[in-house]
Every structure is written in C-alpha cells, then in structure tokens.
Amino acid sequence: MAIKNQNANLKNVAIIMDGNGRWARKNSLKISQGHKKGVQIVREIVEESILQNIDSLTIYAFSSENWQRPKSEINAIKKLVVDAINDQVPELKEQKVKLKFFGHTEDFGEKVIKKIKYAESETFCEDYKLNLNVALSYGGKQDILDLVKKISKEVFDKKLNIDDIDESKIHESSCAPVNEIDLLIRTGGDKRISNFLLYQIAYAEIMFIDKFWPEFSKEDFKECVSNFQKVSRRFGKRV
C-alpha cells in the first residue's frame, strides 16, 4: 500500500491547466484531442493529490472568457465533461473523491447540468479523501460581482448589517467552494492569473511551469509540492 505524505500545511491546490491547444498543434492533432489528453492528466494528478494528503484540488476547466472560442471547440469540451463524468465517476466514488462544479454552470445547458448534479450526488460523502472542484464558466471578477450583489441585497432587505460583512461572509457568498488557496500551479509557460480565484489566491504560492498541460506529470506535481514545502510562508509577519 502506498504511504501517504504528511503535507500538513498544503491543503488547497488550484491549477490553471493551460497548453492543451498548443500541445495538440505541436503533435499535429485536433484541439479536442489536446483537451482529451488534458482530462487524462487530471486523473493522474487526482491520484497523486490523494497520496499527498491534499484536501482540495481546484481546476480551471472553462473560464467565462472561453465562450469566445469556436463553437466546435466549446461543443467538444461540453462532450468531454459529460464523457469524463460517465467514465470516471464510479472510480472517483470508490476512491472517495468528492466532486463539485462551480461557476455559471447553467450556461452549459440542461444535459451538462444534469450530469454535473449526478456526479456531485454520486460522489458526495462525509469521509472524503479529496475534494475535486471543477470551475466551469467561471471568472473571478464575475464571482466578486455576483457576491457583491448578493450581499448588497441582504443589506438592502435588512437581513444583514454592514458591520457583519466579514471574510467568512465573502467566502459563503462566493461560488468557489474553497477559501484560501495554498498553491496555484499554471502550466503552459504564461505568467498570468487569467481571472482564476482572484480573492482566494491572496496568499497562494504561485508556480508557473514551462510545459503544456498534457505534458505535466505526477513527478512535476510532486516537485511543485516539494518546492512548496521549502517556502517560508510568513503571511506578513516577522519570523
């Protein structure tokens, strides 16, 4: 049996899985095949996250801005989400991986919404080994906008005092299921955040990896975890 690592201080990991398209082009494949390979990599990183004793893995599968892509690519990603759920939910359930989709998931239409609900209810458990959060039609700015409107309405309706608005209120009003990201990994070579979890990465360690997502391996992931362990996280304090 594999021995679990004790990553007491690494709880919440987020990943921007960039580079599927460029990897596909480099290998003379269709873009959809790049995304398909990308899903296989997600599976491997999920396995490793369980072994690393990580509490949550939050992945950026589709951003609010990705709607500007060609319709054919959007349809391929929709199909991929449905296929991934069909193929992987039984095994994820067995491994006690709790799935959660967040963002404007309603934009994906009834068929995908139904699948998402099925995946979430099938994998729901109290004694989970890993929370796998999938951002779909998600944007950090849009989330902040939505939560400001939600909280303002509560104040306007006199259900909430302005002085009671605190960090926990922001967290519970955000669609993101995780509050503080410890480690954010971005593959693909670019050094930007692309509107992902803007509030939640306030104190995250950020690692930019110069490899396309379909080339990212368990070893690369373990190296990120090991590098995280070497960082002194001071959170503004003098230590």
Query: What is the contact surface with ligand FPP in residues (CB under 6 A)?
Result: 17-22, 35, 38-39, 42, 61, 66, 77, 80-81, 84, 134, 188
Taking the complex as a whole, how short is the minimal distance between the CB of residue 38 and ligand FPP, in angstroms?
3
Taking the complex as a whole, how short is the minimal distance between the CB of residue 125 and ligand FPP, in angstroms?
19
Q: Is 195 a catalytic residue?
A: no
From the list 7, 12, 18, 131, the catalytic residue is: 18
If the CB atoms of residues 73 and 154 are measured against ligand FPP, the closer one turns out to be: 73
Q: Is 220 a catalytic residue?
A: no
170 is in an annotated binding site: no
Give the torsion through C-alpha atoms of 146, 152, 157, 159, to 10 deg.
90
Q: Choose among 46, 39, 42: nearest CA to 95.
A: 46
Taking the complex as a whole, how short is the minimal distance between the CB of residue 114 and ligand FPP, in angstroms?
15
Backbone angles phi, psi at 131, to 5 degrees: -90, 120
If the CB atoms of residues 74 and 170 are measured against ligand FPP, the closer one turns out to be: 74
If the CB atoms of residues 120 and 154 are measured against ligand FPP, the closer one turns out to be: 120
Backbone angles phi, psi at 137, to 5 degrees: 55, 50
72 is in an annotated binding site: no
Q: Are 16 and 211 in contact (CB under 8 A)?
A: no
172 is in an annotated binding site: no
236 is in an annotated binding site: no
If the CB atoms of residues 39 and 185 are measured against ligand FPP, the closer one turns out to be: 39
Identify the burial level of 114 via C-beta atoms within 10 angstroms of its C-beta, where 0-12 means exposed, 13-18 middle and 19 or more buried: exposed
171 is in an annotated binding site: no
From the list 5, 66, 179, 195, the catalytic residue is: 66
Taking the complex as a whole, how short is the minimal distance between the CB of residue 19 and ligand FPP, in angstroms?
4
> Which sequence positions are flagged as catalytic?
18, 66
**Which residues carry a binding-site annotation?**
18-23, 35, 63-65, 67, 69, 186, 192-194, 205
**Which residues carry a binding-site annotation for Mg(2+)?**
18, 205
**Which residues carry a binding-site annotation for substrate?**
19-23, 35, 63-65, 67, 69, 186, 192-194
